[in-house]
Structure formats: C-alpha cells, structure tokens
C-alpha cells in the first residue's frame, strides 16, 4: 500500500505503518496563509484523513485529488 501512495501523491506525507484507512481520506483546499498551520510546503488541494492530518498532496484541483484518493482506495 505504501508504494501505491508514493506512486500517486506528488508530495506524500504518508508514513509506513500508519493505521489510517485509505477510504477515510477526504479532499480539502488549504488556502494561502494556512499552509504553515498544517506544516505544508504550499497551498492547494490535499487529502486529509479522519484526524485532520494531511496524507498527500498538493493537487492542482479537487477532481485530481478525488481521482487519486479513489484510485488508491481501490487498490
């Protein structure tokens, strides 16, 4: 599963052994100015888990983020 996440997320913060299920990921836009609050490199669309921890991103659009979450969830 770790290899799949690395393959699809351009900037991945997913860590091996992390217990969050892939189906619990939701897309969320992090606006400019809030990226420091989440310790992210830039603003954009990110996949967040159910504990509000970013799991991957940034993505250019919500559609791209959803497509990657769906692809990773299906594998």
Closest residue by Cα to residue 48 from 7, 2, 14: 14
pLDDT of residue 29: 96
Backbone angles phi, psi at 61, to 5 degrees: -150, 165
pLDDT of residue 3: 42
Is 15 among the domain residues? Answer: no
Mean of the pLDDT values across residues 49-57?
89
pLDDT of residue 11: 45
Is 6 among the domain residues? Answer: yes
Is 16 among the domain residues? Answer: no
pLDDT at residue 22 above 70? no
Is 55 among the domain residues? Answer: yes
Is 17 among the domain residues? Answer: no
Q: Domain total for the chain? A: 1
Q: Quote the domain boundaries for residue 38.
A: 2-10+25-74
Is 61 among the domain residues? Answer: yes
pLDDT of residue 23: 56
Determine if the pTM surpasses 0.75.
no
Q: CA-to-CA distance for 40 and 54, rounded, in angstroms?
A: 8
């Amino acid at each position: 599963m770790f290899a799949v996440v690395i393959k699809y997320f351009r900037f991945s913060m997913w860590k091996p052994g992390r217990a969050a299920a892939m189906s619990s990921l939701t897309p969320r836009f992090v606006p400019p100015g809030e990226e420091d609050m989440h310790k992210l490199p830039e603003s954009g669309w990110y996949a967040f888990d159910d504990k509000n921890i970013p799991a991957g991103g940034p993505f250019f659009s919500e559609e791209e983020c959803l497509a990657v979450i769906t692809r990773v969830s299906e594998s």
